[in-house]
Every structure is written in C-alpha cells, then in structure tokens.
Structure 1
C-alpha cells in the first residue's frame, strides 16, 4: 500500500530513541548521589554543584547527539531515494522476462515479482524521446519523492542498454498493491451480472480517491516539474483495494520518465515516433475512448487532457459501461459505435419531468436502483463538464476534487438516512 512519510516503518529511529533514553537515564543516575546528600553537605562543597551541572550538560549533550542520530536515521529510512536497478536484476526477477505477465493492470508488458526483498510490479515501456542520464535521474528522484494515499509509489527504474537514453526501454518498478483493476471490478467477462461495487458508497469512495489523487499530481506535489501530468488515466490503471474499496492510481511518473510530456511537434522532434497510417496521416498512440480531441490532434499531454480522461472514467464508474463499445444494428447490418459520453448526454438532455427516470435507466442496474438521485445528477453534470471539447471550458482538478468531496458528504447523509431504525421496540404482549 502507499505509505506517507508519517507512515514509514521507523524501526531504526526507535533504536536511536532507545539509546537516547538510556543516555538520559544514565545522566539521571549520575545526579542521584548528589540529590541524596544532606543539605549541609551540599552547602559546604562547591564542587558538588559543579559536578551536577557538568552531569546535566553531559546528559543534554548525549541527548542532542542521539536526537541528531535519530533524525538522520529517520531521514535515511524515508522512501525518497529511488532505486536504480541493473537490468540483470530485472531479468533474474522476471525469469528473463518469461514469467507470467500481469495482464489486468496495463496493456503494456508487466510482471509481478520480488526485487530486493519487496514485492513489486515491473512495467516495460518504450522511450518516446531520448532523455539524458542526468535529466532522467533528476526526474526519477522527483517522482519517487511524491507520496499520496491514492497513488501507487514508484520505487525505481532500470534502463535497457545500461545508460540514460542509451536504451530503447525503461523498466519502471512500482510497489505491489493487492487488489483488482477498476475495469475488472466493473466488467467481469465471466459473470457480467456481478460486481463487487454493488453499492453506491463504494463508487463515490473511489471517485473521491481518484479525484484527490489527480489533484495532488496536478497541483500539490511541490516538485520542480511544471504542469505535471499523468497521461495514463483509465479504469485499467486504477487498483481497487479491500475492505474499504479505495482507489489507487497506477503509472504515476510514466509520462515524465518516458518523454511523453514535452510540447514538441513531430516535425521538430522525430524521436517522438508517431505512427503513420497508409494515408500518411500522423496518429498518436493513446487509450481508445479516453483521449481528448486536442490530444488526438497533437499528441501533447496536458492537465486538461487528464481532466478529460478522468471525466470519462467517472461516467464509466456511474454507468458500468465501457468508454466505447459497438452494437450490431439489425436494420442496417452494420456495427454502430456508441460512447459513454453520448449516452450520458442523452440521459441528462431529457425533460425535467423524465430526467430522473432516464438517469436511473442509464445508471448501472447492478446498483439495484439504490443511490441518491440528486448526487448522481450533480456528479454526471460534473463529469460532462470534464469532457467538454474545448479544454478551456473544462474545470481544474482542484475544483473537481472539491465538488466530489461535497457530494461524498451528501452521500454519507443519504446513506445514514437509509439505514434501518434501531430505536423501535416491538411488543407481543396482549393489549
């Protein structure tokens, strides 16, 4: 699980504190004979007071040394220094990349393994742009310094070829978090009528976690990187954990470490490696259904494109549907593509008299029609604001996270009002 700095296992500082307490207790033991002397003895000798003050100074000095030692060991124990793994370590841990791939968390090659005594997940990605070794080290250090309860920690990286920018692939090592992807929780191909997210509280909890996690990435890391983006927001990149159904975001730092965020056009930087179709039109790799219109046109990831992807994922969380899907039209004999954005707009465009009914029909039926309609309506409107075509009209993630927090509190009140009353007594005695 993600650890904050306050949640780090500070076993080494504990030993330092114990040494500090021992030194202080020794200082008290040295003062004990002085305090037990009679008053006449303490007044006739001037050396007693001096020895007492020296003893207290010695105790204070040893205490300050122990405190400095404790702080130093605490600083060393904090997970801020990234691990630079040798490719041979990655090969050994993944059985020369022949181990079973972790297919649920990403479409890219990934393996669950053990590195340096920790259970981790290794993701293989290609560089979109050559990055110098020093720049890569600085970016890796900045990313590993970020910690949030809704973000899976990046532990380190390794580069094929043995040098920054010298290899084609980078292997990003993240801590392993036990859970299932949001996509698998919403859509189980083996049992489509079942979901573990069968109550409203679990879904609003996930929405709140993800909103605050992305808001942290955009606005609250305190890093030197300007306009920090995620660029890989999708339901398969979110891990849902039990028992409280918290959402945790994967792939934080991937965009910065793989060179996906530089605002360079393909004409100025051919190393971005855009793919060309047979018509020679440039198209950029992205996640189908989550790409904003401006990202599809330019391939440049921005914070507003993150907001768009979050809005799609929010609609996905409400309806349980895929971002894009194809339905067979019997009348024409063709497949018709529908998006969750279009179906959400259709549900909200109904008249005021029928809006509640269309919204209930649009919502995931596995919720059992048990959810606060007013909260769902506000949340759907907020999601549709996030997926507006013009990025200027989309809200900032700070505002989105604040609104979702308010809706979370409204959901808590609704949930409390729906509980069965416990102060009712029933008597079967004759009247």
Structure 2
C-alpha cells in the first residue's frame, strides 16, 4: 500500500512539457501510438485491395500482358459450365461484372470483355449475327463443324464456326485453335476475332474472307478457262508458304498445322491466300524435333513418315504443301478414282511424268496462257524437294518462299560452268532432274523406287 501511495504523487507531478502532469503525457503518447497503428493497418488493406482490383482489370480487359493461353481456356470452360449449372453463380458473376465495370473506368479500353486474344461473344449475339444459324448463311461444312456468314452489331462481317460437340471434339478443337492462332496476326493467316463458350456450345469467330477457297476454284465448275492464271497460282503458293513459314519459324512454340490442303486455303478478291482451320494443329516447343500424336489429316496430303510412325513435325506440313503445289500446277486432286489406274495417285503420276521429261504436260489444261519454261521448272523443282521421302532433306518453308520468289536457279550453262566447283548435294541432285547436263544420270532412276 505504501508503494502504491508513493506512485500516485509521481503521476500527478507536473512536468516541464507545457506544465502538463505526467499521467496526461502518458495518455497522449498512448493515443498517438494507437493512431499510428490503425493508419498502418488501413494502408496495408488498401494496398491489397487495389492490387486485387488491378488484377481483375487485367483479366477482364487484357491490357497487353496475355496469360498462358491453355490454362486460361480451361478456366473459361470450367467457369462457363459452372455458371450454366448454378443460377446463384449466375447472379454472383453478374454482380462481379457490375463491380468490376466501376473499377474499369481507369482501364484504357472500355471495350467488351476479352481475355487477350479475342472478344468473348454471347450465344445470343452470334445467333443474331447469323440469323439464328440459318441454312442460308452456311458457307462451309466439315467433320468438325459448320461455318456461317455473320454480320455483327457494328456491321462487320465474320465467319462463325459452330463446332460439333462430338465426343468432346468441340472442346478439343476450341482449345487448340485459340491456343494456336489466338494471338497470331499475319496477312496470310485467317485471324481469330473471338469465341463463344456457353454450356456445351463452342464457337469460333474469324475474319471473313470473301472469295471462297482454293479447292472450289481448282476443282469446281469454273468453265473452259480457269480464272486462276499461272501468275495467280504462284501468288497463292507464295502466300500459303509465307503463312506456314511464319507458323514454323516466326513463333515460339512453333505451330504445325497438320491439315494443309486446298480447302483450307481461303482467298480474297485479290487472290491473296489465307491459311485457315487450325483445329488439328500441334504446338512444338523449342528443343523438340517432333511430337508423337495420333495420325490425323486428309488422305492424299499426309506425309509417309507421319502416316507410318505418328511422329509429327514441320516437315509434315512441307510435304502437304508440296501436294498442294502439285494441285496448283496440274489442277488435279491428290487422289482421283475417276482417272485411269496409273493417274489415280497424283504423286506417282507427277513423278512419272517428270522422270519421262514430260513436265510441260503436267500443266492444268484450263490455264490459258502457258508459263515460261523457267517458271514451270522452278515450280516442279519445289514440288520434288517438298515430297522427298527423306523428311530431313525437305527444305524449310522459309527456303521454299525464297525458291518460289527467286529467279536465280542455274540452268544448263550455269551448271556446266560450276560443275567442277560444286560438291554434289541433295539440292543439286534435284536440280539435275529438271536441268539435266550431259553428265547427269538418268532422271530419278533409283531414288523413286
């Protein structure tokens, strides 16, 4: 009790600070400490909430940094399925969208929601654009879906691909196409504008290319003279090669199309080629020389080594491009059972005609103006290089672009001049076939056996 009594006078003593009593100073210091602590806690909470809102804005209004596509697609599909099955979740998502819209005022692009590689369209929007998917708007149909011509609310024309939900194939193709070309922009590739994922529906919205596809112009009823002149055909070949070269050599991971064929080459009014339909595409990361996968593609275009082993890489696309170039030159389909047995298989017939030195007879009879011998030989050479049975000896797509555009292939006089200086290579052997010298061996005497 004595100690307690002695401490009370100490607390009531006046100090030198403004003449305040000691206990008043203690209370003031405690109040200041508590205030500082509260301000610190509030600042930490505010920083956390602002970071969270910024992340939401990035996801909903993609400001340039694009997340890993494959993971994002999985989340989109999962969210779509959960929302459709749970009405409470629908309301919750609608509330979150309203809340995020108030935050998105600071976003530089208050456009409709997207996640970095295209617009997220609702099913109702695409129904309105295509006339409720009317038959009159069908512009293409295949094993994996139906393509409709559509006009969006802003007046832009698009192609809407409604994927058939056949044993999960729609979801697979949806993921593959968005992952393969969602972020890609190239003048010779069909661009992906957006997509729709509602319930079981999976749709892809592309740029509309207004002049049909190459198959229609090569094998359709175009009259006695084809509008595809030799120069136009070579323009289409070069455009296609540039698009594939970008997929193979301009992207990481590289994209192997796996279904290069004439019906997948779309054309605009100026005959510019646009490679389309990436539903079977495969990604090939750095360090990988091939990927083993189930053999898929179109009969007549699939490379022999891929068909027999399932080992896929960009050389498989090169082989398919070689077949496509043969189509452009000859106007014939890769497999045509209506022709005589010796001409049913385009590759075998083509090789036989070149071996017999009858390359000029390979030309499509619907071509009115014949190409120069130099231009024809250059195209034949590219075909032969692309379909080489040794996949490692096929050229890269970038090299093919150069071969088709360059006009510097050596002819007989050039070969004779350089014959002593050159060490024979695969390229030289192919050139001997088309530009034979007096020392050349018989044309493809052994290599085609």
TM, length-normalised to structure 2: 0.56
Distance 2:176 2:337 in 1: 44
Q: Which runs of 5+ in 1 are unaligned?
A: 1-71, 162-166, 267-283, 330-334, 411-431
Q: Does the 8 A contact of 2:192 with 2:204 survive in 1? A: yes
Map 1:12-411 to 2 at 5 A.
Answer: 81-100=117-136, 102-104=138-140, 108-117=145-154, 118-125=156-163, 140=178, 143-159=181-197, 161=199, 167=200, 170-189=202-221, 191-197=222-228, 199-221=229-251, 223=252, 226-243=253-270, 245-252=271-278, 255=281, 263=291, 284-298=295-309, 301-327=312-338, 338-350=344-356, 355=357, 358-368=358-368, 370-407=370-407
Q: Does the 8 A contact of 2:214 with 2:263 survive in 1? A: yes
Query: Residues 85 and 404 from structure 1, CA distance in 2 versus in 1: closer, same or farther, beyond 3 angstroms?
Result: same
Distance 2:210 2:115 in 1: 20
Moved more, 388-397 or 178-187: 388-397
Distance 1:93 1:75 in 2: 19
Q: Does the 8 A contact of 2:130 with 2:137 survive in 1? A: no
Distance 1:381 1:206 in 2: 17
Shift of 1:102: 3.4
TM, length-normalised to structure 1: 0.59
Shift of 1:150: 1.1
Between 1 and 2, higher relative CO (CA 8 Å, sep ≥ 6) is seen in 1
Distance 1:232 1:121 in 2: 19
Encode CA deviations 1:92-125: one digit per residue, 9 max, x unaligned: 4334434335345856411111234321111233
Shift of 1:256: 5.3
Q: Which runs of 5+ in 2 are unaligned?
A: 1-107, 284-289, 411-449
- Which of the pair has more CA radius of gyration? 2
Encode CA deviations 1:123-142: one digit per residue, 9 max, x unaligned: 233589979x9xx8898377
| Corresponding residue pairs, total | 297
Distance 1:128 1:395 in 2: 37
Encode CA deviations 1:72-97: one digit per residue, 9 max, x unaligned: 67999x99641122334334433443
Root-mean-square deviation (Å) = 4.0
Distance 1:75 1:396 in 2: 40
1:415 matched residue in structure 2:
none
Q: Does the 8 A contact of 1:265 with 1:298 survive in 2? A: no
User: Secondary structure at 1:216's aligned position in 2?
Assistant: helix
